[in-house]
A and B are shown apart, each in its own frame.
Chain A
């Protein structure tokens, strides 16, 4: 319990490090998510080339939504640094 308190105090003092860590993890999350979407999309386009346009549109849409989730984390980290 005391160790946790000490660690929390340190985290409170070095908001820059934790914000940087959070932003990095957000980037990793975005990379994984969009990578999965892109991979499935490319695979689907290879299997059925005539659907390529539809698949590409949906891929870009889903990538934007996943990116949105990663950017929530960025906003929170920004607030942690500035606030």
Chain B
């Protein structure tokens, strides 16, 4: 029996490895065409294939590959998604002064709409006279006086910064000042410059509509939500219909994980009596972060960076904070405000630190998750960028560096799979520990 199984396993293993290698080999072609797209050249908009190939081949010689822009474009949010080389425009929904406006972002992403705003980095696209999107943030165009008006506002912001630097310098001088007269004169100067700076700052705020559009991240969130609902509702129904029977199929796949979260994360940290109340949240958070990370790792699927966005992890951390604070019992607050077993004079030092800890812990949770996921994506994108940076020399360099880079990318991808699970585990474990500390009974 064993001699029959072993060749089967090795065949499957080889097949998996081959699939991964082939996928990454093809990803070169996808990335090459993507380099083309990012140049936003006339050849691309024409769709003329020979022109496209010629431009791609001659590309690096003409324009320096900017890895920073490439990486930031993929890691940050945006109003369009990229599926296997095609750019899919997403709906833009704005709450403007004239009410709710909804249109496709392809209105923005056109050759003729590309503008350049001095002083603001990144791509700028305009839509008619009404809106301009600079670096994926949408502002009003007409009401801010057109592009000229926006550039003026940027200049005013810079002037306000210069004035601020002057104010700090003057305040330093004031500290060194000896006589009262000098202090008074410096005070007057500071006051006048502050007033000017405030006026400049107010004039430099660029009016923007309230942006509630469906961006790449929102789409990713909806995808993960759909995935989770689909999987877990199925599992719940299976549990109902298969009462008393052994689990099968998808129920069987997820049961060890669900029990793992309950028995190895929730119950040891919170205690068997109270874990029931928090287990649903811990399960949700665990599977959300894990699925979100995995979705971000699928090669040709858009390249979501869901859990690597500060806004999403901030919400998770705030929810953990709210649950901890609401469920804090007397022992919890007692331990925080007056740690038992320390001499009184240490309490003056310890209590503010403990109160700060209450806010710092969720913040740390947020940053840890964001940084780990974003860093993983940045490393993989950096390896891709290496190919284009070195490939600018010759065609052979493309393939040579490409081969080496592909191997490193596969290695990083495997690490990223581990990180996807691990970060979900760490977030859930720490949340469970905070909940456990909040509902801990006093033990003497």
Which A residues form the contact surface with B (CB < 8 A)? Answer: 60-61, 64-65, 67-68, 71-72, 74-75
Contacts and interface: CB of A to CB of B under 8 A. Distances in A.
Given A68-B364, A71-B375, A74-B375, A61 B426 contact: yes
B151 interface: no
B426 to A, nearest CB: 5
**Of B371, B372, B429, which is in contact with the most chain A CB atoms at under 10 Å from its CB?**
B371
Given A68-B367, A71-B372, A75-B367, 18 more contacts: A60-B422, A61-B426, A61-B429, A64-B372, A64-B423, A64-B425, A64-B426, A65-B368, A65-B426, A67-B372, A68-B372, A68-B426, A71-B368, A71-B371, A72-B364, A72-B367, A72-B368, A72-B371
A68 B422 CA distance: 12
19 contacts: A60-B422, A61-B425, A61-B426, A61-B429, A64-B372, A64-B422, A64-B426, A68-B364, A68-B368, A68-B371, A71-B368, A71-B371, A71-B372, A72-B364, A72-B367, A72-B368, A74-B371, A75-B370, A75-B371
A71 B365 CA distance: 12
Main secondary structure of the interface of B (DSSP, over half): helix
- The 9 A-B pairs at the shortest CB distance, nearest first, are namely A71-B371, A68-B368, A64-B426, A75-B371, A64-B422, A72-B367, A71-B375, A71-B372, A74-B371
A66 B369 CA distance: 13
A77 B370 CA distance: 14
Nearest to B422: A64
Nearest to B365: A68
B79 to A, nearest CB: 20
Contacts of B371: 68, 71-72, 74-75
A60 B425 CA distance: 11
Interface of B: 364, 367-368, 370-372, 375, 422-423, 425-426, 429
B426 A71 contact: no
Contacts of A60: 422
A24 B370 CA distance: 19
A67 B422 CA distance: 11
A68 B366 CA distance: 10
B214 to A, nearest CB: 25
Nearest to A70: B371
Contacts of A65: 368, 426
Contacts of B372: 64, 67-68, 71
A34 B331 CA distance: 35
A57 to B, nearest CB: 9
A67 B367 CA distance: 11
A71 B366 CA distance: 12
Contacts of A61: 425-426, 429
Contacts of A71: 367-368, 371-372, 375
A31 B429 CA distance: 24
A30 B367 CA distance: 16
A82 B423 CA distance: 26
Nearest to A67: B372
A75 B423 CA distance: 17
Nearest to B430: A65
B158 to A, nearest CB: 15
A83 B421 CA distance: 31
Nearest to B426: A64
A52 B372 CA distance: 26
Nearest to B371: A71
Nearest to A72: B367
Contacts of B367: 68, 71-72, 75
A72 B371 CA distance: 7
Contacts of A67: 372
Contacts of A72: 364, 367-368, 371
A46 B370 CA distance: 35
A82 to B, nearest CB: 8
A12 to B, nearest CB: 10
Contacts of B423: 64
A61 B367 CA distance: 17
A74 B429 CA distance: 23
A64 B422 CA distance: 7
Contacts of B368: 65, 68, 71-72
Nearest to B372: A71
Contacts of A74: 371, 375
A60 to B, nearest CB: 7
A67 B426 CA distance: 11
Nearest to A60: B422
Nearest to B172: A5
A71 B263 CA distance: 30
A68 B371 CA distance: 7
Contacts of B370: 75
Contacts of A68: 364, 367-368, 371-372, 426
